[in-house]
Amino acid sequence: MKKVLLGLVVSLGTSTTLYADQATDWGYEANNAPEKWASLSEKYHACSGLNQSPIDIKNTTSAKLEPLKFNYAATAKSIVNNGHTVQVDFNAGNTLTLDGQEFVLKQFHLHSPSENKINGVSYPMEMHLVHANAQGELAVVAVMYQKGQLNQSLAQIWSNLPKQAGQSFMFTGNLDAASFLPKKLDYYRFNGSLTTPPCTEGVRWIVLKDIQSASEAQFDEFNKLLAHPNNRPVQPVNARIVLE
Angle formed at CA 76 by CA 75 and CA 78, multiple of 5 degrees: 155
- C-alpha–C-alpha distance, residues 170 and 77, integer Å: 6
Give the pLDDT confidence of 125-161 residue by residue, as tens digits: 999 999 999 999 999 999 999 999 999 999 999 988 9
In 3D space, the residue among 98, 104, 83, 71 whose CA is nearest the CA of residue 176 turns out to be 71
The set of residues, in sequence order, having a beta carbon less than 8 Å from that of 55 and lying 6+ positions away, is: 116, 117, 190, 192, 234, 235, 236, 237, 240, 242
Q: Is 84 a catalytic residue?
A: yes
Q: Give the domain ranges of the chain.
A: 5-10+22-226
Those residues with Cβ within 8 angstroms of residue 155's Cβ, 6 or more apart along the chain or in another chain = 1, 218
The partner residues of 9 in beta bridges, in order of sequence, read 168
Which CATH number fits the domain 5-10+22-226, given the four candidates 3.40.30.10, 3.30.70.1400, 3.10.200.10, 3.40.50.620?
3.10.200.10
pLDDT beyond 80 at 16:
no
Q: Where are the beta strands (DSSP E) in the chain?
A: 5-9, 56-57, 69-72, 76-81, 86-90, 94-98, 101-111, 117-118, 125-132, 138-147, 168-171, 187-193, 201-208, 212-214
Among residues 45, 84, 109, 131, the one annotated as catalytic is 84
Over residues 52-111, the pLDDT tens digits come to 999 999 999 999 999 999 999 999 999 999 999 999 999 999 999 999 999 999 999 999
User: Of all residues in the chain, what percent carry a pLDDT higher than 90?
Assistant: 86
Looking at every residue in the chain, the average pLDDT score rounds to: 90
CA 152/CA 229 separation, integer angstroms:
23
